[in-house]
């Protein structure tokens, strides 16, 4: 099929646009949490360590690991230089999508599918991340290009196309476990569609590829083998396909409608012109595109949405081929007009409602160290506590990048052996301020614990993979809480709290009250209608208590739960012991509930707080509070969009 000049100009402009959108504002491109975690593991001391330990990295991305191991030695930890090869892989994938689409179906199929891959956020985002997905997509498409030519097009360049097929298959297997799965399906599927005249050649090609793949199984870890056992199979999530569709189309109803209109228009047009067809190529592409989505649905029950949506990048082009396949004999004018409409819709929703360049370009690591540097330049470092819940090796990268002063002392949560040690650090009387940097993986109780010592909120910035807060000692400030219920055990301040008044005692030296939690005490002390106080899945429910334990043998717990009439939705607890509390001192103990995974709040739900004593040694509580804190609505922006209020 000859390529017209207008189509050549189109694909050149499309590839330039795809590169620009991936390279836009490159100086502000930062690493994601998953990306840095991957890079740190790849940055082994020597190649043998990479071979022996690197295969345990999620996804078994062996080819990407080897490439990055040597590439990091060359370019260091420069964001743009590390990301550049993956950006180029993303652009090259756009070209292959166009090529495969037009060869298997029509020029319109190639143009519309390539436009989608060029401007859909999932394609752009994975091209801007140093991970197995952008490079894996390129390998997979190379395999599909060669395979489709062998199976369906009967081209004369058999040796060239079998080389493409075999090379793409081998690289796909060595790159990622899910692309290995897709490669296996593709090879098997070929036997059902192959022309019998070239069956022997196809078998030989497959055998050569398999022989070259065998060494990988000696390198791959036990984790790879367990990933393909069936012990994780269970009932699929009913809303997986809905959520994945929203994710693909930028959480934009407008984009979904435009996509649906183009597809429906193509079907109606083909029916009217009697051009509607369903051939072997379309059947094969549908199987290769749809089957992995169903498998990923089951796979999602044991993995995060981020990982599952990432691996489905491999099958997305195939789904696009199938949906845009009914444009036979459409000429060039119609595909160009539809591609222009499709481009405008994709770019508009990418930039505006989806906010890719607004949210993705704000790295919690980069922004944290910018904030630390700026604050310590105007305030004494000796009076500022800096607590970061990030990996110390990652922090070293950004400490050097932002050239922090040697006087700036950062403490890392992982370096504390207990919560009691964190309390000792926060209670240092020399500190007037605290800078708290947390990631999406941080424990939510870190915020209320710091707030117990530093009551005034000066800065509270939220990003899609974490947040930064700066607090100062001073008068209690509850402006960060939507609702807060406090109890100091005075008769006037009991409120919704349910305590046995016979257990309340008076501290005559300070004229304050406290309650003694005797042995085997186990009681619900507070209940509230959840529907009246929880407004968004981004909210946190914090419980803070000022606790005194007389010796190291004391042990109890505070728990908080969200319940519906039918079942327990969330139940979290924090122990009261020497692990969390300083012995012989009044110490804050904090507990937080996250509602990020609660997509809809059942009616008549309740939030409850329970206190229990697990030993014969009493402990004491002087103050306790419960409050609803606004959380970070961008925390799941990548896979769930901006978290919204409950209806």
Q: Is the pLDDT of residue 490 over 90?
A: no
pLDDT digits (tens, 9 = 90+) for 548-572: 999 889 999 999 999 988 789 999 9
Q: How far apart are CA 497 and CA 306, in angstroms?
A: 40
Report all structural domains of the chain as residue ranges with CATH numbers, in order of start.
Answer: 32-223+239-359 (no CATH), 364-477 (3.40.47), 483-629 (2.60.120.260)
pLDDT at 49: 65
The strand pair at 512-517 and 619-629 is best described as: antiparallel
**Which of these ranges, 44-53, 187-196, 401-410, has the smallest mean pLDDT?**
44-53
With bands split at pLDDT 50, 70 and 90, how would you rate the model's confidence at 236?
very low
pLDDT score, position 238: 62
Residue 130 in tokens: 């140093």
- Which ranges constitute the DSSP H helices of 105-176? 107-119, 121-127, 132-148, 158-175
pLDDT score of 223: 46
Structure tokens, 186: 């593709």
According to DSSP, the β-strands at 433-439 and 568-576 are unpaired
Q: Which one of 9-13, 314-318, 481-485 scores highest in mean pLDDT?
A: 9-13
Amino acid 506: pLDDT: 86
**pLDDT (0 to 100) of residue 219:** 60
Task: State pLDDT tens for residues 595-612.
Answer: 888 878 888 899 999 999
pLDDT at 381 over 50: yes
**pLDDT tens digits along 22-64:** 999 888 888 888 888 888 878 766 666 666 655 555 445 778 8
State the CB neighbour count (10 A cutoff) for residue 374.
Answer: 11
DSSP-assigned letters across all residues of 248-287: HTTT-HHHHHHHHHHHHHHHHHHHHTT-----HHHHHHHH
pLDDT bin (cut points 50, 70, 90) of residue 235 is: very low
- DSSP per position, 321-370: HHHT---TT-TTHHHHHHHHHHHHHHHHHHHTTS-HHHHTT--HHHHHHH
The pLDDT of residue 276:
84
Average pLDDT over residues 110-138: 94
Lowest mean pLDDT among 120-134, 241-255, 481-495, 514-528: 481-495
Average pLDDT over residues 230-240: 51
3-state SS, residue 637: helix
Q: Give me the chain's average pLDDT, please.
A: 86
Amino acid 233: pLDDT: 38
Q: What local confidence, expressed as pLDDT, does residue 45 receive?
A: 63
Are 637 and 307 within 8 A, CB to CB? no
Average pLDDT over residues 165-187: 87
Which tens digit of pLDDT belongs to each residue from 136-150? 999 999 999 999 999
Q: List the beta strands (DSSP E) in 440-576.
A: 456-463, 466-472, 483-487, 504-507, 512-517, 522-529, 540-548, 556-563, 568-576
pLDDT at 44: 65
Q: How far apart are CA 20 and CA 350, in angstroms?
A: 14
Residue 224 CB neighbours (<10 A):
18
* pLDDT at 226 (0 to 100): 47
Q: 220 falls in which pLDDT band (50, 70, 90)?
A: low
Between 71 and 48, name the one with better pLDDT. 71
Q: Does residue 513 surpass a pLDDT of 90?
A: no
CB 140 within 8 A of CB 182: yes
Q: What is the pLDDT of residue 584?
A: 92
What Cα–Cα distance (Å) separates residue 390 from each residue in 121, 339, 386? Answer: 27, 44, 12
The b-or-e profile of 185-221 (16+ CB within 10 A means b, else e) is: bbbebbeeebeeeeeeebeebbeebeeebeebeeebe
**For 75-100, what is the mean pLDDT?**
94
Least confident interval from 23-37, 347-361, 446-460, 496-510: 496-510
Q: What is the share, in percent, of the chain residues with pLDDT greater than 70?
A: 90
Q: Report pLDDT for 104.
A: 92
461 phi/psi in degrees, rounded to 5: -105, 135
pTM: 0.86
């Amino acid at each position: 099929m000859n390529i017209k000049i207008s189509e050549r100009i189109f694909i050149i402009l499309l590839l330039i646009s795809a590169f620009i959108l991936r390279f836009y504002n490159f100086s502000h491109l930062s690493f994601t949490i998953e990306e840095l975690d991957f890079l740190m593991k790849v940055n082994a001391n020597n190649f043998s360590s990479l071979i022996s330990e690197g295969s345990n990295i999620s996804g078994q991305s062996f080819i990407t690991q080897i490439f990055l191991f040597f590439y990091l030695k060359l370019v260091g930890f420069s964001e743009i230089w590390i990301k550049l090869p993956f950006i180029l892989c993303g652009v090259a994938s756009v070209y292959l999508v166009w090529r495969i689409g037009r060869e298997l179906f029509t020029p319109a199929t190639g143009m519309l599918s390539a436009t989608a891959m060029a401007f859909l956020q999932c394609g752009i985002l994975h091209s801007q991340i140093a991970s197995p997905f952008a490079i894996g997509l390129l390998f997979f498409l190379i395999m599909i290009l060669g395979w489709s030519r062998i199976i369906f097009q009967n081209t004369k360049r058999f040796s060239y196309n079998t080389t493409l097929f075999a090379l793409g298959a081998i690289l796909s297997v060595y790159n990622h476990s899910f692309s290995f799965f897709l490669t296996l399906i593709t090879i098997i599927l070929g036997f059902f569609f192959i022309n019998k005249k070239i069956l022997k050649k196809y078998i030989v090609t497959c055998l050569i590829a398999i022989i070259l793949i065998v060494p990988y199984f000696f390198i791959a870890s036990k984790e790879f083998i367990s990933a393909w056992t069936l012990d994780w199979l269970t009932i699929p999530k009913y809303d997986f396909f809905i959520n994945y569709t929203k994710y693909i189309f930028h959480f934009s109803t407008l984009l979904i409608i435009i996509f649906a209109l183009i597809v429906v228009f193509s079907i109606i047009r083909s029916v009217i012109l009697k051009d509607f067809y369903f051939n072997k190529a379309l059947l094969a592409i549908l199987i290769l595109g749809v089957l992995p989505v169903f498998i990923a649905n089951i796979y999602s029950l044991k993995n995060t949405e981020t990982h599952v949506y990432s691996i489905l990048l491999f099958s997305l082009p195939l789904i696009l081929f199938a949906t845009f396949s009914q444009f036979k004999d459409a000429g060039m004018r119609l595909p160009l007009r539809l591609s222009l409409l499709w481009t405008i819709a994709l770019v508009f929703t990418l930039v505006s409602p989806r906010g890719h360049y607004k949210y993705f370009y704000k790295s919690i690591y980069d922004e944290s160290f910018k904030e630390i540097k700026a604050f310590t330049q105007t305030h004494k470092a000796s009076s500022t506590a800096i607590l970061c819940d990030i990996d110390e090796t990652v922090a070293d990268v950004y400490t050097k990048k932002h050239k922090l002063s040697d006087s700036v002392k950062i403490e890392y949560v992982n370096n504390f052996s207990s919560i009691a040690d964190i309390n000792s650090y926060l209670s240092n009387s020399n500190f007037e301020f605290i800078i708290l940097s947390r990631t999406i993986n941080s424990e939510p109780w870190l915020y209320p614990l710091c707030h117990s010592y530093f009551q005034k909120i000066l800065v509270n910035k939220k990003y899609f993979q974490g947040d930064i807060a700066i607090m100062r000692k001073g008068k209690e400030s509850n402006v960060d809480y939507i609702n807060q219920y406090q109890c100091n055990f005075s008769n006037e301040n009991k409120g919704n709290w349910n305590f046995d008044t016979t257990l309340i005692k008076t501290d005559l030296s300070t004229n304050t009250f406290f309650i003694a939690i005797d042995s085997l005490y186990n009681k619900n002390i507070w209940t509230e209608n959840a529907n009246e106080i929880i407004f968004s899945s981004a909210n946190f429910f914090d419980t803070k208590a000022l606790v005194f334990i007389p010796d190291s043998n004391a042990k109890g717990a505070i728990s908080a739960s969200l319940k519906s009439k039918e079942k327990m939705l969330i139940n979290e607890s924090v122990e009261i012991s020497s692990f969390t509390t300083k012995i012989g001192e009044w110490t804050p103990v904090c507990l937080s509930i996250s509602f990020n995974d609660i997509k809809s709040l059942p009616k008549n739900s309740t939030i409850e707080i329970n206190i229990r004593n697990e030993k014969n040694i009493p402990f004491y509580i002087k103050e306790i509070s419960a409050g609803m804190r606004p959380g970070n609505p961008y925390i799941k922006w990548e896979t769930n969009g901006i978290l919204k209020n409950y209806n």
